[in-house]
Structure 1
């Protein structure tokens, strides 16, 4: 066997696999698009994405947040933490503090998160989160649960 035939067959096999994969993708895409409920599903998916991302990025809307759905709360919490970190790393302290306060407002264990923030954030940012938390918790949860949340966090003895 010479050197050119050693590289020829693996190359043919790789090209064959590539063509097969593309054919597989085209076949299933056509099958998906020809399904009778495809247009309805596509419209519903686009509408849901528009509602989620339609707030303009950092001004994510929490008016459609379902506080009784743990998966929505977890997604919203992680989204707010990520956006807060991104804003703080860019130097946008005001928006960063807002996002971190929103994360505390929906957190299942806000005292632990506040203790972590107290250890990792500069004192002035931590104090700003404490100052904004009652207002943000009220806007996220409504007036009844936010006053209990805000007072529970602000009266923690080790956070003052």
Structure 2
């Protein structure tokens, strides 16, 4: 049988859960009813679809550390897969993007230097500034 304090704790937990769900519903409704919300979603989708058609890299939200980490691992994986398939130019684009967002690019470059052939590594080093500039331009677009 439950005693009085555990009943009170269960009731308090139930009320807190209900309040949290209500809070989530309220702010989701408020966000979706914003007149600019649909326009911002359309603009983002249009920008992303244009970037995919051009074959450019879609940068993450640089304010979100988790999104940047996910982007880094995703770019490394895609780059490695493309290298194994022999698509050097596309692979270099993705690996350069991973290096550009990496917290310790020099260490990553040392690992890549040991794991990929020297001519490909040299092409990668040459490509990094252009990709970094492309990603920083995308970051500036997000700020505006």
Whether TM-score is above 0.5 comes out as yes
The CA deviation at 1:56 is 3.9
CA distance in 2, matches of 1:142, 1:110: 19
Provide Cα deviations, 1:121-157, integer angstroms capped at 9, x if missing partner: 10011101110111111111249xxxxxxxxxxxxxx
Match of 1:61 in 2: 58
Match of 1:116 in 2: 111
Match of 1:138 in 2: 133
Match of 2:101 in 1: 106
CA distance in 1, matches of 2:73, 2:110: 17
Using structure 1 for the length normalisation, give the TM-score: 0.52
**Residues 101, 133 of structure 1: 8 Å contact kept:** yes
Larger radius of gyration: 1
Using structure 2 for the length normalisation, give the TM-score: 0.58
Gaps of 5+ in 2: 1-27, 33-37, 139-144
The one of 83, 90, 99 equivalent to 1:88 is 83
Q: CA RMSD in A?
A: 3.1
CA distance in 2, matches of 1:67, 1:141: 10
The CA deviation at 1:79 is 0.9
The CA deviation at 1:86 is 1.2
Q: Tell me the SS of whatever aligns to 1:79.
A: helix
Instruction: Trace 1:6-25 onto structure 2 (pairs within 5 A).
Output: none
